[in-house]
Amino acid sequence: MKVFINKRIPEIGITMMEDAGLEVIIPENTNISQEEWLNYCKDANAILNVGQNKFDADFFEKFSNIKAIALYSVGFDHVDIKEANKRNIPVGNTPDVLSRATSDVAFLLMQSVARRASFYFQKVKDNNWGNFDPLSELGQELYGKTLGVFGLGRIGFEMAEKCKKAFEMNIIYHNRNRNEEAENELDAKYVSFDELVEQSDVLSIHANFKPEQSNLFDGPVFKKMKKNAIFINTARGGFHNQKDLYEALVSGEIWGAGLDVTNPEPMEENDPILKLSNVCVLPHIGSATVEARNGMARLAAENLIAFSKGEKMPHIANP
């Protein structure tokens, strides 16, 4: 079986596949254009995909040679799962191994925003150290505040657990399904979407993104949030309307925002949000640790090896 990988991944994944007899094709220069990417797809039976290349009906129609896709991500919003199902194409993903790393980033952003890290870092860079001022430029503490989790799955659980342990925060959540583990272990309380928005001091998104949720967090939603609220998005930028978020931040409707994902992504260079001192933006680095990336390589390889043996992928997005 020929597997096309569009970028180098940690060696562990490549070795596992080669040891299992799979032929692995990786372009010399992995910064390939869309056209080159499509050319490589012609020659393979399976794809290990790094990044957000789209797998839609058109793709599946053109590349009937592709029999399996292993994503190097937990998110699969760039794959038309219905179309893959129609053609019996398994789509693997990489759950769990990046939950800790991604929730660490949500936690980092929450604290950075609460303690105004971007604002103070800019002052230091501008050689404007400032004097000790008891009254102005103060942050807020998170102890005993309310964390609202939108999408309490594996990553949301890790974030809630950290917030509970570190700051004894109250956990509320909104989800498609009730999460009994979180209710029992973290005393998390299920609330409606409106209650989540209205009651959270920190609102953190951890759901899988679906197109119908595009711009779910928009002007009217930001207006309902508390004035001291911190908005955190480490899931997908499509969840929030970035212009509305900017307005909410400028007008003081919310306290601040921490984004590891933006809308659009990559972010436009002149996006006015970058000028705001109550915002901390990172370039989609949730899973960027050695441990998580090795784990992702291992899971993606396990998926393709299982497929090559005629078995079900162990980590699958379309069971």
The set of catalytic residues is: 236, 265, 284
Q: Which residue from 72, 68, 102 is spatially nearest to 318, judged by alpha carbons? A: 68
Query: What string of H, E and C letters represents the secondary structure of 110-145?
Result: HHHHHCCHHHHHHHHHCCCCCCCCCCCCCCCCCCCC
Q: Does 73 bind ligand DGY (CB under 6 A)?
A: yes
Q: Which position among 74, 221, 279, 297 is part of the footprint of ligand DGY (CB under 6 A)?
A: 74
User: CB 205 → ligand DGY: shortest distance, Å?
Assistant: 12
Residue (276 or 297) nearer to ligand DGY, CB: 297
Q: Does 75 bind ligand DGY (CB under 6 A)?
A: yes
Q: Which position among 49, 204, 241, 287 is part of the footprint of ligand DGY (CB under 6 A)?
A: 287
Residue 155 in 3-state DSSP?
helix
- Beta-bridged to residue 48, according to DSSP, are 5, 70
Q: Does 156 bind ligand DGY (CB under 6 A)?
A: no
Task: From 11-19, 72-80, 113-121, 165-173, give the range in contact with ligand DGY by CB under 6 A.
Answer: 72-80
User: CB 107 → ligand DGY: shortest distance, Å?
Assistant: 16
Q: Which residue from 310, 298, 263 is spatially nearest to 95, judged by alpha carbons? A: 298
Q: Does 95 bind ligand DGY (CB under 6 A)?
A: no
Nearest residue to ligand DGY, by Cβ distance, number only: 75
Residues ≥6 apart with Cβ < 8 Å to 7 = 26, 30, 50, 51, 72
Which residue type occupies 246?
Y
User: CB 98 → ligand DGY: shortest distance, Å?
Assistant: 6
Q: Does 112 bind ligand DGY (CB under 6 A)?
A: no
Q: Which residue from 25, 27, 77 is spatially nearest to 51, judged by alpha carbons? A: 77
Q: Does 149 bind ligand DGY (CB under 6 A)?
A: no
Distance (Å, whole) CA 11 – CA 101: 20
Q: How many chain residues bind ligand DGY (CB under 6 A)?
A: 6
The DSSP element (H or E) to which 69 belongs, if any, is: strand 68-71
Token representation of residue 186: 């973290």
Residue (93 or 241) nearer to ligand DGY, CB: 93
Distance (Å, whole) CA 313 – CA 24: 18
Q: Does 300 bind ligand DGY (CB under 6 A)?
A: no
User: CB 201 → ligand DGY: shortest distance, Å?
Assistant: 25
Name the site residues for ligand DGY (rule: CB under 6 A).
Answer: 73-75, 98, 286-287
